[in-house]
Structure 1
């Protein structure tokens, strides 16, 4: 194995609790090298799922956090000056394509439009990456797989994937887990007992009912794990919930009053 890709290997098993048939469906897609689009709210486990599948399949994972400043050159590569002069440096997408990794574009719609143009020939039967600066047409390694995620709840007509992009991918829907499963996840990840974990999940589920009524997104599983960990470390529950759950999701006083009321309902006023 080329040493360029070794740092991207996941050596220990990430904790992931399956909620449906997503593991077997990912494996089936990978066997056919069908690129995948993971759709779901923030903090529901999409990234952890990809990490778990990379470990399970024993494949390197190159993760790219997309943002509005991400360009095609950031993905593909560029010439840089070093001690040897002007030298070409592969970008993370090129590394994954060249050496056979799973490439995960996290929140892909946050990236600039020219980045999706780059992935089109990788996401269909051609499985090729044009590197114009090198005059190279790079054929993807047999083990290469492309995975992208995005949150449909945040998208507008001006900030969404084109139909021509979506149709190149299979798609898996992610939602927050059921009460029992989310309680299990929070307890395991935060190191707290089931009673405390269930109270945190109860707060989150009530907050999700406010989506579209003052909140863009409710409290996520990721946030619950942080709050639980703080409480496990000795932070008073109300203070932990304010810092990790309620204040990050809203600045609106009425919404915060409602969220604080949920906390009081489970932990007492």
Structure 2
């Protein structure tokens, strides 16, 4: 393995609790190097899943957090001045393509459409990356795999992926886990007991029923784990829920009153 990407290998196994056949299906997609989209709400485990799969497959993982300021040069690279003059520096996508890493574009719809179009030749049979400014055509390493994620229920239609992009990818749907699985995750990740984890998950599941009625997203599994971690650290449940679960998702007084009611129903007034 090239020294450039060894730092991207995960040395310890990221904990991931499967909810269905997603591990089996992703392994089959990787065997064919089928580009994949992970679709699901914020904080439901998409990033943890790809970290777990990279560890499981023993492949380096290069993650790019997409945003509206991301340019194609940020992905593929640019010429920069240093002590030796003008020198080309590969971007994270090019590094993954050259040396055979999994490249994970997190929340890809947040990037501009003219940025994500550079992935098209990588996501079909060509598996190439043109570096126009360098006059180079990079052919993907056999181990290179392209994976993207996004939340289909959050972005506006103006931010949706182009059809020409979607049709190049396979897709796996992710959802918040069933209650029993979510309780296991919270116990494992935060260190709280089963009863406390069950109460926290109950609050989160009630909040998700408010989606579209005052909040864009309910309380995620990630947020429940944070609240559990605070409780395990000695912070009382009401303060923990306020800091990690209820206040981050809304500023609306009526919504907050309803969320506080959920907390009181599970932990008492």
Shorter-chain TM-score bucket reads over 0.9
- Return the alpha-carbon distance in structure 1 between the equivalents of residues 260 and 65 of structure 2: 32
Name the counterpart of 1:132. Answer: 132
Q: CA deviation at 1:252?
A: 0.2
Unaligned runs of 5+ in 1: none
- Return the alpha-carbon distance in structure 2 between the equivalents of residues 157 and 238 of structure 1: 37
Name the counterpart of 2:141. Answer: 141
Q: CA deviation at 1:115?
A: 1.7
SS in 1 for 2:138: strand
RMSD: 0.5
Q: Give yes or no for the alignment of 1:82 onto 2:73.
A: no
- Return the alpha-carbon distance in structure 2 between the equivalents of residues 250 and 167 of structure 1: 35
SS in 2 for 1:19: coil
Name the counterpart of 2:52. Answer: 52
Cα-to-partner distance string for 1:149-197 (whole Å, 9 max, x where unaligned): 0000112221100111000000000000000000000000001111100
Name the counterpart of 1:99. Answer: 99
Cα-to-partner distance string for 1:118-168 (whole Å, 9 max, x where unaligned): 000000010000001110110000000000000001122211001110000
- Return the alpha-carbon distance in structure 1 between the equivalents of residues 123 and 209 of structure 2: 36
- Return the alpha-carbon distance in structure 1 between the equivalents of residues 115 and 102 of structure 2: 17
- Return the alpha-carbon distance in structure 1 between the equivalents of residues 207 and 193 of structure 2: 22
- Return the alpha-carbon distance in structure 2 between the equivalents of residues 193 and 158 of structure 1: 44
- Return the alpha-carbon distance in structure 2 between the equivalents of residues 42 and 157 of structure 1: 18
Name the counterpart of 1:167. Answer: 167
Name the counterpart of 1:73. Answer: 73
SS in 1 for 2:249: coil
- Return the alpha-carbon distance in structure 2 between the equivalents of residues 98 and 84 of structure 1: 23
SS in 2 for 1:11: coil
Name the counterpart of 1:17. Answer: 17
Name the counterpart of 2:121. Answer: 121
SS in 2 for 1:216: coil
Q: CA deviation at 1:86?
A: 1.1
SS in 1 for 2:124: coil
Name the counterpart of 2:26. Answer: 26
SS in 2 for 1:81: strand
Cα-to-partner distance string for 1:197-242 (whole Å, 9 max, x where unaligned): 0000000000000001111000000000100000000001101100
- Return the alpha-carbon distance in structure 2 between the equivalents of residues 44 and 20 of structure 1: 14
- Return the alpha-carbon distance in structure 2 between the equivalents of residues 212 and 14 of structure 1: 33
Name the counterpart of 2:39. Answer: 39
> Number of aligned pairs?
269
TM-score (norm 2): 0.99
SS in 2 for 1:18: coil
- Return the alpha-carbon distance in structure 2 between the equivalents of residues 141 and 79 of structure 1: 23
- Return the alpha-carbon distance in structure 2 between the equivalents of residues 85 and 182 of structure 1: 54
- Return the alpha-carbon distance in structure 2 between the equivalents of residues 250 and 49 of structure 1: 27
Q: CA deviation at 1:74?
A: 0.1
Name the counterpart of 1:180. Answer: 180
Q: CA deviation at 1:36?
A: 0.2
Unaligned runs of 5+ in 2: none
